[in-house]
């Protein structure tokens, strides 16, 4: 009989630079022409997470981090797809989600810096 390991929930956070990027991608009626396709930072975070996860890329945040609203991004909802990815480097669900989101944010930043729209990533 195998013993089921205890899953640590943890917290969801990203680097200050990634947070700034994701915040800049939230639509504002004051600047409708900007490349800002998301209605809330949690949507941008979810997109960054999905992007990192789909490419199996994880990055640890460097420096100061900022948390993402845990009531809006509930890591336990992703347990089924993440359970086997938890390891010593990413020992909690929150850390694992954060690692994928950080990598996704880096891809989003590179895309913006190349002059392309963030949503062009999914084309």
Q: Where exactly are the structural domains of the chain? A: 13-122
**Stretch 39-55: mean pLDDT:** 95
Q: Are 94 and 12 in contact (CB under 8 A)?
A: yes
CA distance 34 to 86: 37
Per residue in 53-90, pLDDT tens?
999 999 999 999 999 887 888 999 999 899 888 877 78
Q: For residues 80 and 105, which has the higher predicted lDDT (pLDDT)?
A: 105
Judged by DSSP in three states, 74 sits in: coil
Closest CA to 69 of 13, 6, 8, 9: 13
| Stated pTM of the model | 0.90
Instruction: Give the span between the Cα atoms of 87 and 29, in whole angstroms.
Output: 42
CA distance 50 to 74: 14
The answer, yes or no, to whether residue 2 has pLDDT greater than 70, is: no
């Amino acid at each position: 009989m195998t013993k089921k390991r205890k899953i640590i929930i943890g917290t969801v956070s990203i680097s200050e630079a990634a947070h700034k990027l994701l915040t800049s991608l939230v639509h504002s009626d004051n600047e409708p022409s900007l490349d800002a396709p998301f209605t809330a930072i949690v949507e941008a975070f979810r997109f960054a997470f999905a992007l990192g996860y789909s490419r199996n890329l994880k990055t640890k945040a460097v420096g100061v981090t900022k948390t993402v609203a845990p009531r809006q991004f509930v890591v336990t909802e992703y347990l089924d797809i993440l359970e086997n990815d938890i390891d010593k480097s990413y020992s909690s669900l929150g850390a694992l989600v954060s690692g994928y989101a950080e990598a996704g944010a880096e891809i989003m930043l590179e895309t913006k810096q190349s002059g392309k729209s963030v949503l062009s990533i999914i084309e």
